[in-house]
Amino acid sequence: MQALAQALQNLGDWLTLHLTMWILVGTGLYLTIRLRGVQFRLLPAMVRSILSSRAGASGGISSFQAFTISLAARVGIGNVFGVAAALILGGPGAVFWMWVIALVGMATAFAEATLAQIFKVRADDGTFRGGPATYMWLGMGSRKLGVLFSVLTIATCGFSIIMVQSNAISGIIGPGSSVNASKEVTAALLFVLAAPVILGGIRSVARVTEWMAPIMSVVYLALGLGTLAVNYDRVLPALEIIVESAFGPAQFAGGVTGGIMAALINGTKRGLFSNEAGQGTAPNAAATATVAHPIQQGLVQSLGVFVDTIIVCTMTAIVILSAGSSVYAPGALDPSQAASLTQKAVVSALGGWAEIPMALIITVLAFSSVLAAASYSEVAVNFISPKKGGRIFVRVLSVVSTVLGALATLELVWNSVDVMMAIMTATNLLALIWLAKWVSGALRDWESQRRDGVKTPVFVGKNNPNLPADVKTNVWETPAS
């Protein structure tokens, strides 16, 4: 198992360094330029979109619910465990590269969510379905590519990502933790909690994540800010070391296995795992929303990347760095300690009373990510075949993966998800470049209506002069849609 885990890590590092990193940043920069810095220009509109996103679902899934499904996946273990792992493996400089991935990734997230909305289709239960597989099919004209991406999504989300999240839960409440539950007890508990929600389908997941993800995120932010308040004199030095570690001369001397290369590789990998921009998972949630215009959901999902990395991940990193060498000492920690590193940093500042609340918060955040990944798998299998048997299969797979993840070895789980995510991301980013004209056309349509004084722009997919062609679904045929 150890040899397999090491082989997967080597492959994941190679893919990140030679493929994912370049195409991820390159696509983000391309979309930033083509969309005229949409993530910066329309940041106020993003905030307004969130504030009004609970309305207008008409019995379906609201824009806010779709946002919370993706937020549940984003603000989870990637923010707590992933940031800690990046600091251990890549040093403080890895956080800087997480910022870079996030800022250009906001444009990528905007584009993929907008495309998911443009090309969404209506499911048998009246809700909407879509995502990369659907826009590869209807936008690029390649159903085979869509099927391939769906298979990758099921393998990555229904298996690898879910296992990562449940594995982290096992590390937080398992043997040696403050809770000290056995792995078997943790696996059984996760089964009891996950099975009813996952087997209930996407509507069930949306109802749970709508309140779970925002509440736990706010509580986590409160504890994190409390920690920073105690260590206020260490906040600026922590930010300085992040920047210095990313660009300092000492980092360039590290070579491929250390220094700046380690920071780049781990910042990219953990940044992608945390905010998912470009990976192609979040658009599956974005497509389910009932909105008047695709751009509305693009704005909402783009803001999710900002909240995830620039706010939450940065806070986590500073919490750890400000805790001092007794908690975090670069080069002296093993990756297996990442699961509890953030928790130890908070406890060191606030006291022992915070240990149990932190364990609960991280557990719930990871659990919400399990639910989100399960919903992505269901969207993917629905693209391959809309028959009920397929949906039941991925729901069962997701529940089984939840149980297995609590029992598996950490290194094998993490390294397998890195490889799968790299392949998924490369496939999705190529589609985004191909279909960028649809995103810019939809954005022109939305902005022109806003300039004309329309408070809530409405999208029509037929005979729209801003689009390169008619949308090949009946969802956007009339304004009433």
- Three-state secondary structure string covering the chain: CHHHHHHHHHHHHHHHHHHHHHHHHHHHHHHHHHCCCHHHHCHHHHHHHHHCCCCCCCCCECHHHHHHHHHHHHCCHHHHHHHHHHHHHHCCHHHHHHHHHHHHHHHHHHHHHHHHHHCCEECCCCCEECCHHHHHHHCCCCHHHHHHHHHHHHHHHHHHHHHHHHHHHHHHHCCCCCCCCCHHHHHHHHHHHHHHHHHCCHHHHHHHHHHHHHHHHHHHHHHHHHHHHHCHHHHHHHHHHHHHHHHCHHHHCCCCCCHHHHHHHHHHHHHHHHHCCCCCCHHHHHCCECCCCHHHHHHHHHHHHHHHHHHHHHHHHHHHHCCCCCCCCCCCCCHHHHHHHHHHHHHHHHCHHHHHHHHHHHHHHHHHHHHHHHHHHHHHHHHHCCCHHHHHHHHHHHHHHHHHHHHCCHHHHHHHHHHHHHHHHHHHHHHHHHCHHHHHHHHHHHHHHHHCCCCCCCCCCCCCCCCCCCCCCCCCCCCCC
HSE at residue 22, side-chain half, CA atoms within 13 A, is 6
Where do we find the tokens 């600091």?
Answer: 87
Angle at 355 between CA 242 and CA 398, to 5 degrees: 85
324: left (phi over 0), alpha (psi -120 to 50) or beta: left
How far apart CA 423 and CA 408 sit, in angstroms, is 23
Q: How many other C-beta atoms lie within 10 A of the C-beta of residue 80?
A: 31
Strand partners, 152: none
How far apart CA 288 and CA 371 sit, in angstroms, is 15
Each of the 481 residues of the chain gets a pLDDT tens digit; together they read 667 666 766 776 677 667 777 888 889 999 999 999 999 999 988 888 776 655 555 555 666 666 666 666 566 666 777 788 778 877 888 888 888 888 888 999 999 999 999 999 987 767 788 899 999 999 999 999 999 999 999 988 888 888 888 887 887 787 777 677 788 888 888 898 888 888 877 677 767 766 776 777 788 888 889 999 999 999 999 999 888 887 755 443 343 344 555 666 666 665 655 667 788 888 988 888 888 999 999 998 898 888 888 888 899 899 999 988 778 877 667 666 776 788 888 888 898 888 888 888 888 888 888 888 888 888 888 888 878 788 888 899 999 989 888 887 666 666 777 777 788 888 999 999 999 999 999 999 999 999 999 988 999 999 999 999 999 888 887 654 4
How far apart CA 63 and CA 472 sit, in angstroms, is 22
How far apart CA 36 and CA 48 sit, in angstroms, is 20
> pLDDT at position 95, please?
87
> pLDDT at position 481, please?
45
Q: Which amino acid is at 221?
A: L
- Do the beta carbons of residue 144 and residue 150 sit within 8 Å? no
> pLDDT at position 8, please?
67
> pLDDT at position 58, please?
56
121 backbone dihedrals φ, ψ, rounded to 5°: -130, 160
Sign of the Cα torsion 304, 305, 310, 312 reads: positive
How far apart CA 327 and CA 77 sit, in angstroms, is 19
Determine the distance from the C-alpha atom of residue 163 to the mean position of all C-alpha atoms in its chain, rounded to a whole number.
15
**Predicted structure pTM score:** 0.83
Quick one: which of 448, 427, 394, 470 has its CA closest to 139?
470
- Do the beta carbons of residue 424 and residue 152 sit within 8 Å? yes
- Do the beta carbons of residue 172 and residue 344 sit within 8 Å? no
Domains, the chain, ordered by start? 1-51+62-452 (1.20.1740)
Residues 421-458, buried b or exposed e (16+ Cβ, 10 A)?
Answer: bbbbbbbbbebbeebbebbbbbbebbbebbeeeeeebb
Structure tokens at 307: 């909240």
> pLDDT at position 280, please?
87
- Do the beta carbons of residue 220 and residue 312 sit within 8 Å? yes
Quick one: which of 113, 114, 139, 145 has its CA closest to 472?
139
